[in-house]
Amino acid sequence: MLPCVAPPSDDDFQDSRSPDDTDEDLPAPITLIDVPENVAELCGSCVQYVWRSLRVPLDFTPDTLSLVDHYLSGVRAELSQKPELGPLVARVVGAYFGEVVRKTYFGIWRAEPRNVHDWQVGLRTVFLWFNPIGVAYDALFNTTEHDGPRSHLRVAAEDREALNVRLSQAPPVPDSEFYLLTTRLEALEIAVETLRLRMSAQGYQDVEFGEADYAAEFGFGVN
């Protein structure tokens, strides 16, 4: 289990900064709407770390995930010498990935501060949810064998078989790319398309899922 979620400090990533870096060098912060404070803080840290490493600003669009993948490859190379970076980076990157997905698909955060294993992003356009911190752990370690949350997509029982069949028909992905954030977003896009088609076929194309739907399924409130 992970310790309580708290924004990493700049001291955790001193090596990623140039001696000439100042706070004035950082990109202007982006205001996030309908995002839990703890998630917003982690997203802000991700933007800072990627900027200091790559000198490229993140704007919470899907196109920026390839930049974050590149950033993770650099961190992965340091893990053997600095294993403490793993949980820190996974949290900030997972928060960023989750917010990119939430903004793209008008989703809902559940991010209780105590334990990231319970975090979820649920989508409004289809009934699907997942743990974005788990996605980031997979991407960072390039495996599901880690101490982080599980990352699999979760859907209603009646949709699982159809979704698994559709995902199995996707073009094969090289092992080196399987856990990339960009690859995971592509899988999510396929899942959303598949579920939307099923909803339309059943006459539910105008249905949206909200906090009450996810709270009833999870047995807890959402942020």
Q: What is the pLDDT of residues 114-144, one digit of tens each?
A: 799 999 999 999 999 999 999 999 999 999 9
In a domain, 3, yes or no: no
Q: How many domains does the chain fold into?
A: 1
pLDDT at 219: 57
> 208-219 pLDDT, tens per residue?
999 889 887 665
Q: What is the pLDDT of residue 211?
A: 87
Q: Is residue 132 part of a domain?
A: yes
Domain-located, residue 223: no
Domain encompassing residue 37: 10-218
Instruction: For residues 152 and 144, give the distance between their C-alpha atoms in angstroms, rounded to a whole number.
Output: 10
- Per-residue pLDDT of 54-109, as tens digits, reads 999 999 999 999 999 999 999 999 999 999 999 999 999 999 999 999 999 999 99
Residue 172 lies in a domain: yes
- 79-108 burial: b if 16+ Cβ within 10 Å, else e: eeeeeebbbbbbbbbbbbbbbbbbbbbebb
Q: 2 lies in a domain?
A: no
Q: Which residues have C-beta within 8 Å of that of residue 129, sequence separation ≥ 6?
A: 120, 121, 122, 123, 153, 154, 214
Residue 4 lies in a domain: no
Task: Output the pTM of the full model.
Answer: 0.87
Residue 5 lies in a domain: no
CA–CA distances in Å: residue 23 to residues 45, 100, 180: 12, 24, 30
